Structure 1
Amino acid sequence: MGSVVWLFLLVVSIHIYIIAAATNPDDASALRSLMDEWKNLPSNWGSGDPCDDKWVGTGCRDSRVISLKLPGMKLEGRLTGDVFSLSELQELDLSYNEGIGGSLPPTIGNLKNLINLILVGCGFFGPIPDTIGSLPQLRVLSLNSNGFTGPIPRSIGNLSNLYWLDLADNQLHGEIPVSDGPTTPGLDWLIHTKHFHFGKNQLSGPIPSKLFSSEMTLIHLLLESNRLSGALPSTLGLVKSLEVVRFDNNSLNGVLPSNLNNLTSVHDLFLSNNRLTGPLPNLTGMSSLNTLYLSNNSFNSTDVPSWFPALASLTTLVMENTQLTGQIPASFFNLQQLQTVVLKHNNLDGSLDIGPGMSNQLEIIDLQSNSITDFNITAGEYTFEIILVDNPVCRESGATNRYCTLPPPDSSPFYSTPPQNCQPYLCSSDQISSPRCRCAYPFTGKLQFRGLFFSNLQNRTPFESLEQDLTQFFKFPEFPVDSVSLRNPRMDPYQYLLLDLELFPYGEDRFNKTGISAIASAFSSQDYKPPDTYFGPYVFRGDSYEYFSDGPAHSSKSIAGIAIGAAAGASVLFVLLILAGIYAYRQRKRAERATLESNPFAHWDPKKSSGSIPQLKGARCFGFEELKKYTNNFTEANDIGSGGYGKVYRGTLPTGELVAIKRAQQGSLQGGVEFKTEIELLSRVHHKNVVSLLGFCFELGEQILIYEYVPNGSLSDSLSGKSGIRLDWSRRLKIALGAARGVAYLHELANPPIIHRDIKSTNILLDERLNAKVADFGLSKPMGDSEKGHVSTQVKGTMGYLDPEYYMTQQLTEKSDVYSFGVLMLEIVTARRPIERGKYIVREVRMLMDKTKSSYNLQQILDPSISFGTSSKGLERFVDLAMRCVEESGADRPTMGEMVKVIEDIMQMAGMNPNAESAASSATYEDAAKGSNPYGDESFAYSGGFPMSVTKIEPH
């Protein structure tokens, strides 16, 4: 009997040890929430404890999750608020997951300990949030190869620790941001950053001279394939640390600065395909220069520069169509590193002479379409290509020399890793034979080199060096890699070198997810560095891996459990069966309790009242079948809007009353208790300037809210012209007053008081008489007696309207709504989005505002429609009030009650009765307003683009 008790205690101890949480509860909850949002997560996610059981891609320290590295996992989903609650997170790498995308939420700024943010080759789009600049520890920011739009956030200039900045291969537009005074940051503040990778975007405007300074330590400056214009600033010559410089494929013009000669460390200089003019500067001092591309510019007609032979490290010179004249000096071909010379379509003349000291690395000299009259080579036979087609030397009758015909396409095989003293197998299925002649499923991808220090792709030496370096870096046991293979080197239209890469698994025929994550992360984080003798900056694009091995490895606990079970035999099994019965019984009871907790309406009798059921005032419970009937089975014809929460349908009650039925989609469902709390809160709100809740539905897994129907759309629709409603000054004042009264009611008269947290033009709806109604309480926060003054809470709201004091302190007060309302008032007078083309409306008004001038000097940003049919009397006082609302300190802002009184005074000053009803049905708007959508998705509140001003901060 004693042995049975001992075994029982042993099993219980093991059980307690297994379920003891090694991970901080908040972090564990965040990771488990991600399991509901993301697809294709590693199979051991959800098993045991994240830190203790080493969930794939999760790194921990002292019970806190400090890294989340899941590149190349075939993940699908969006970045949600759950990630941003991992407050100790230092590394976030989700690269090479094309299914991870959507907009990058502004709440990324909550991760104050983040060091590496790496999202290479994902599916993100929309603007890069300005909050990216509030990550003080950030060293690596790689957002390349996505679909980001909008400007480069100037706030990135605040990242004083940044080492690597890669925004290449997106759709970013606008000018390169530089600082404006001591408080407005720009990229010129990044004096310690080594890498500016901005190629393949749509950046425009001149390159600011302020961008560069002698303090900078930049080594890679990549701005190729954009829309940049203007002259190259002379300040570029101050950055003596530069090694790779690319400005090719832009619209640069003007004369090259003479001090480029100071860039003695530059290996690659790409300036092709611009509109550069003037003479070529003397580049004699660029002693490290390997590659020089200057083609397709409009330089002054000039003789071949005498300093060409002084470029001792030169391997590649490409200067097509650049007005070159004169004779090439024979000494130029004596440069011992020279491999490629392309000077087509110029005006070179005289004799082409190549002496006995020529480089033994020469591969091609292409001088097509010039005026060369003779060709002499001391060596007699030569092995490299010389092309003199369309030169006088080849126009003589009977000229048959090989240099007078175009060479055939190169049929020589490109480099491919050879087998290692073995005979490759003919593998079955999708397997490939490795260099060690083992059939397996390799992890594949492309290496793209944005700079390189050689040009002969037939030369095996650089590729063998790279192959050996990759093999050494990814060797077992640091990585589960058996061998490495390179294939098919080629240049793409952007003058990038592309290489196909295959990494084969060690000891198995396929990788597990841990192995792929480790390999992909080494590339995405730039931990792997290629040999700098031949290769410059690179990016890796991993292919989707289809062949993950089955299941994770057993944890040490499970192995220990198996051993104990085998040793203990039948006695332990008997004890475990007892424990299993007890556990199953407790789990069943727990499930029953959870069911009741998740459905607080389960025992609700609407005819009775108790403290555990919803305390509703003026709202009732609808059945799901009822709502299907009222919406004609939720048909598309009754679909009047959609958003992140789901869809809104028009419904008709048996009484003929129109209602708006907001149906949450599965991913947006709250817990039952939270849903109950929300409808209790909303049912208490009754004011003519607040949208009324009529009822709810909570059955069959549905969460549905029924609101009054508001026919004339949102204020945003009218300001943007989408609804067809024309708003003159008097109507705008009336709407502002109604909205202010609605918010003041929430703050001062609702029980409990409510902070809306999402005041904006899309949440102000207009009824049939253009009366304003405050809507959308999805982010609202009730203020209990214990929370008077402020409440600490996770930041929620919409960028552009968000109170900066609330954002910085996370202390929510009624003054946060006041700030948002001030932005709304500026929107009312300008009809501009809060953030438009990278410009913030509050800052724009502050900069332009001059109280000594008419209309405060704001004519250039005021909406021209504001004076339609009426004067704009009281405008200046209205702007004054708005600017008081957006003061930095909440203590300096008015209350909503005070604002109501001021707007009433403004209306009286303008000869209006603040308590009069709006005109009934004016021809200026009634017909146009028919069919408008008052419940549309925020992203459609304004025409065109993906406005940053409507991006919600809404953690789950």
Structure 2
Amino acid sequence: MSKLHLPFLRTPLLLCVLVLLPLPFKVISQDANTERTILLDLKKQLGNPPSIQSWNSSSLACTWKEVTCGDDGSVTGLHLGDKDITETIPPTVCDLKNLTFLNMNFNYIPGGFPKVLYNCTKLQYLDLSQNYFVGPIPDDIDKLSGLRYIDLGANNFTGNIPPQIANLTGLRKLFLYQNQFNGTFPKEISKLSNLVELELPFNNFLPSSIPVEFGQLKKLRLLWMTRANLIGEIPESLASLSSLETLDLAENDLEGKIPDELFTLKNLTYLYLFHNNLSGEIPQRVESLNLVEVDLGMNQLNGSIPEDFGKLKKLQLLSLFDNHLSGEVPPSIGLLPALKTFKVFRNNLSGALPPIMGLHSKLEEFDVSTNQFSGQLPEKLCAGGVLLGVVAFENNLSGPVPRSLGNCNSLHTIQLFSNNFSGEIPAGVWTATNMTYLMLSDNSFSGGLPSKLAWNLSRLELSNNKFSGPIPPGVSSWVNLVVFNASNNLLSGEIPVEITILPHLSNLLLDGNQFSGQLPSKIISWKSLTSLSLSRNALSGQIPKEIGSLPDLRYLDLSRNHFSGEIPLEFDQLKPVFLNLSSNHLSGKIPDQFDNLAYDYSFLNNSNLCAVNPVLNFPNCYAKLRDSKKLPSKTLALILVLTVTIFLVTMIVTLFVVRDYQRKKAKRDLAAWKLTSFQRLNFTEANILASLTENNLIGSGGSGKVYRVAINRAGDYVAVKRIWNNEKMDHNLEKEFSAEVQILGTIRHANIVKLMCCISSESSKLLVYEFMENQSLDRWLHGRKRSPSMGISAVHNSVLDWPTRFQIAIGAARGLSYMHHDCHTPIIHRDVKSSNILLDSELRARIADFGLARILAKQGEAHTMSAVAGSFGYMAPEYAYTTRVNEKIDVYSFGVVLLELATGREPNSGDEHTSLADWAWQQFGHGKPIADCLDPEIKEPCFLQEMTTVFNLGLICTHPLPSTRPSMKDVLEILRRGSPDSNGEKKTGAELDAVPLLGTVTSISATTQRETA
């Protein structure tokens, strides 16, 4: 600047002009452009994820929703969580010099810990959770010296947690949950004096005790170390954590006493120590008056319940189940104003329950089962109006059911079996709006059965009581009933025909009553029936032949009645595991299927029966025929000549007339069929229609029959499903047909059965599929265990080895994952089961039978179903009491299939009160070794870890809470990690067990298991 202009610098006007010059704004604009260029370059290096397509050169970076900026306009934060990023983090990110916040969670980022972030010198917040990071956390992680928050959870980090992490002295939150750490965690963490939250759960650390030094973390509010392989005792130094609010050490191998001082921490709010080996008494002095939840279940604790628990005015959950506690429940527990959940089942508690229980709080869960309680149930359990369950079975309780429960519409379950209750059931209990399970067996209840039940009641168990009178005609309204057990009562009258229309009935047990008359012969809807027991009654007449058409009937007991006549020929279609027709008045020939030693005791005390097989202790049918009165030989000869003559004349006359008629009729009939193809076809509808004969029949079910049809001379086959109902399509069958066409006609996947075409007429619908040579997984797993007379093909006598089972699991998971996550609109199958998983010639899995499937309106959106559908043993518990469902019902059913693969058991093979899923959870809850649960026929040391992993995955898939179950995408990922990688190697069992989702298999109380039985 020349001297000529210098004097003007002193004038106020010029100073104002200089202040308003745009120079500083040009500098900021250049910085903004630079950072925008950096971000666009970052976007490119991350693979241009579609989720951040809004990033472009025509807008300011600070306007992008994934970007936050400081007051000076520089980028300070990146929010890139759940953006489907699959690339490693590039160094470019640290070119943003003022970056303090970086969130890249819920992506698919591979590789080791991103050391490129060391150049982000101002970084304070780092969240890389829920990705695919592998390898160890580097020893020089302390180069990120400014960190205050770090979340590396739900990845695949291994090795040790380095002690250098303690050099991050500003750290307030350290989250390393759900990884594959197989080394140690350092005691040096105790040096993080500013640490507020520490999460290390769901890791397979080397067996380690809790460092005494952790007591130095004076600011710590959360200590979470569930399933961290902890051993030894809980150190008393934890009582020095004066700021501690949540202590979760559940599911470890901790032992010894609970330190008395823990219950003196003033700020302690949540205490979870369940599923350990803790012993001794619960500390009797409780001064932690802020406690909201206390869970000490599944330990070895003894002594009594502390009286001081009655002082905890904020307590909402008290869970002490599965211990050795004795004595009475302190009356003060009944006064707690906030108590919602009270679980003390499986202890040695006795005495009367607090009579005011539920009066002062809105009680939701109440489980006191398997104790020695006496007296009556508290009258006011449902005073708050939100009680979900009353579970008190296996005690010495007596008296009537509280009348107040009859006004409790929130109830989902009442389980009072194995007590001394008496009197009549309050009317409102039968019809409570949300009632799903009513289990009252083994008491002295009396009165009659109601005409109306709760609309969604699926399990009614009344056996071994004194119920009397008839089954009311109103039984037709019990439409959602799956199990009806009223054995050993005083019920009488005829069995009403209305009971035969219940569409979901699986178990009907009415033995040991006083029923008389004939059985209804018109069985309309018993297509799901698996067990029918009517023994020890006074039933008479002929056995209805329709029973022989029940496709899933496995248990049939009609013994000790007055049935007469012949055993229906239709019984040849049955494939029972148990059959008992003894002690009746039956006559004629025992069906060929049962004429073997497997049914040696099935027909005793029927003096007029005969058999062909001399092994059975019955007269020979041919001998009886010879001994019967014979016609004279001349008469027989004359009858024979006349019969042959008439037959020949009739055939000759009819042949010419009928042949022409059939040709014309065939043309007319063929024209009435419409073919809609979805694949390239090498056959016509005429090929299919001509082969729908009984000789080609390979299966039948509730919605139709299935045929195997040859389509050429080369031996190629298709499977044809015929949906047909008495010449007129039933509305429900029409819906099933439409569902299969809508879904299978539009999707293509290697693990979903291929629909070739559909052929339809007014009265019948045909679905033509690719043929699966090896039929269903169900037959491979369970066919050998059933009676040899069931007609199981010889191929199913082979044991399905574990590698094949594992590949079947992966294939089926691929199909379901595609339906849930990759279809334009997600699809819920609603009937996933082993019989709907078909196997091709190489035993590869295909998902089949989409008659119950539904397409969701939006991904993740729950859908309303008009009625419950599915198969007993596979149905998710929430499906029994709500019609609002989502993909998690398929996850539950697939979990049952996984348990079938791992254990070899059938889906209904629990005890009399449980299914396979309930049984598996009980084994887990009791601490039984998982190895004892696995299929002994294929259990080999080299497969043990892999089978254990699949069993664990089956558990978490069948968790009662839908939100806790993984998605099918996650399930598939877990299974794929156990399959050969690109080098042909497999993950070890330990690596599989440590994958993120398997770490979430948490303990579930037995009451939750029973309420979802």
Q: TM-score range by the shorter chain?
A: 0.3 to 0.5
Question: What TM-score results when the alignment is normalised by the length of structure 1?
Answer: 0.40
By relative contact order (CA 8 Å, sep 6+), the higher-ranking structure is: 1
Question: What TM-score results when the alignment is normalised by the length of structure 2?
Answer: 0.38
